[in-house]
Structure 1
């Protein structure tokens, strides 16, 4: 019998946003929006590596896991675990406004949420690089539209797939013949004119119905290894954003868990 585990990780210290502390409440609300499931809340540390270790211990040995962040750095261990399980058959689809492909030396902010995907491919703070790095050619950036020069150079050199307009996303993933797909969603992939409760908005993003359609297309074709949704900065004066997420998150989790 399949079941879902919701892992709430209210990490904010990896973010560069001046309002990053709002991610704590955002993580709780995202976890609340998931359908009924086993729930685990990770107590975060001042040390990102300590928090990563706690996330690793919280991950279930079987069943589907939905990680509710927190900043994008919370995805380090769930994706590393999926890679250990599926090996090079795994494809990671990274829905985000940003590439999160900086290194400590190239990052303008020094914030780990802008380095986590690069760390997963083997370059980053030593204590946060997994023992089995991802092949960048097994990563598809979807909706990414705000890149630093060093990130653009890495994409070109590494063979990572970049689809600012993800119209051909399903076909591109299919070309990689995945055994499973991990889906990461940073909510700043959405257009800020529609959803603005994020710390680093970038114009020209996806509409919620298009995001859902793309995720459903992936779920219809491939096994989904896990789902992470991150970077919701809860702002009490923006109830419209919470109402939008309340319906969207539940459907995303149900769709990805293939319930």
Structure 2
């Protein structure tokens, strides 16, 4: 419910004509033996969001607002399919305190938000693994600082680049340059920020990025590249007062994301 409140709070600060609300199932959903908690609900959200994204006019670039990081499955899949149809190479910049690289077999919680990037690489529960997988060598983990052991092993084996929170401001541009891609998708989980500057998340992690470094990194990631989509996730205010306290930061990040989708 905190994630719902967070998404609605962000929406209230945006022009009504620029937003479309995607309904999510009210029930918890069923794992259906997949190892993914609430699998049926996750699959339904994927389908509903994909349907909405299919109505976005060509050249009008969507910013998807969660909810948790699981909403990115449909959004990044769409970007990957579109890039492939154009013969373009898509890079994915994943601003997140966690890598979200678990599988149903390795996840300690069964929560899909901790598996979504692995699903986007083509691995995961049947029906959720992307049919348009991204090459791990076209991914940068940005500000990531809390990995499970098996996630860390996968990062090392797969060649995924990692830029720490302390290096975002001046190091991300070079990391994205090294991907050698034509287009990028920008994912922001707000727990990439340090809890000292933003605490409206469910799993805050110390030693995160400053707001200035995050916005500078978003600009660097998009400089000289075509941004084909973006996502903003995991705002989970505990009270209305927390919404007010975090509002200025949210608007700065939203502004940086929308500016990146206009930059060429």
* Higher deviation after alignment, 208-217 or 27-36: 27-36
Residues 118 and 124, structure 1, Cα contact 8 Å, conserved in 2: yes
Question: Structure 1 residue 202: deviation in Å?
Answer: 0.4
Residues 137 and 161, structure 2, Cα contact 8 Å, conserved in 1: yes
Q: Which residue of 1 aligns with 2:156?
A: 156
Residue 217 in 1 paired to residue 217 in 2? no
* Higher deviation after alignment, 84-93 or 110-119: 84-93
Counting only pairs closer than 5 Å after superposition, residues 62-81 of structure 1 correspond to structure 2 as 62=58, 63-81=60-78
Question: Structure 1 residue 213: deviation in Å?
Answer: 0.8
Q: Which residue of 1 aligns with 2:34?
A: none
Question: Structure 1 residue 119: deviation in Å?
Answer: 0.6
Residue 231 in 1 paired to residue 211 in 2? no
Residue 108 in 1 paired to residue 105 in 2? no
TM-score (norm 1): 0.87
Question: Structure 1 residue 209: deviation in Å?
Answer: 1.0
Identify the match of residue 246 of structure 1 among 251, 254, 257. Answer: 251
Q: Which residue of 1 aligns with 2:36?
A: none
Structure 1 residue ranges without an equivalent (≥5)? 1-20
Cα distance between partner residues in 1 of 2:202 and 2:231: 17
User: Which structure is higher in strand share?
Assistant: 1
Deviation digits for residues 118-139 of structure 1, max 9, x if unmatched?
Answer: 0111111111112121111111
Residue 185 in 1 paired to residue 209 in 2? no
Q: Which residue of 1 aligns with 2:37?
A: none
SS at match of 2:153: helix
Deviation digits for residues 36-81 of structure 1, max 9, x if unmatched?
Answer: 7532111112411011000000102421101010000000011011
Residue 44 in 1 paired to residue 24 in 2? yes
Question: Structure 1 residue 86: deviation in Å?
Answer: 1.0
SS at match of 1:40: coil
Residues 35 and 250, structure 1, Cα contact 8 Å, conserved in 2: no
Q: CA RMSD in A?
A: 1.7
Residues 91 and 181, structure 1, Cα contact 8 Å, conserved in 2: yes
Cα distance between partner residues in 2 of 1:58 and 1:198: 26
Question: Structure 1 residue 177: deviation in Å?
Answer: 2.1
Cα distance between partner residues in 2 of 1:171 and 1:37: 37
Question: Structure 1 residue 248: deviation in Å?
Answer: 3.2
Cα distance between partner residues in 2 of 1:68 and 1:207: 21
Q: Which residue of 1 aligns with 2:33?
A: none
SS at match of 2:201: coil
Residues 184 and 227, structure 2, Cα contact 8 Å, conserved in 1: yes
Structure 1 residues 226 and 34, CA, compared in 2 at 3 Å: closer, same or farther?
farther
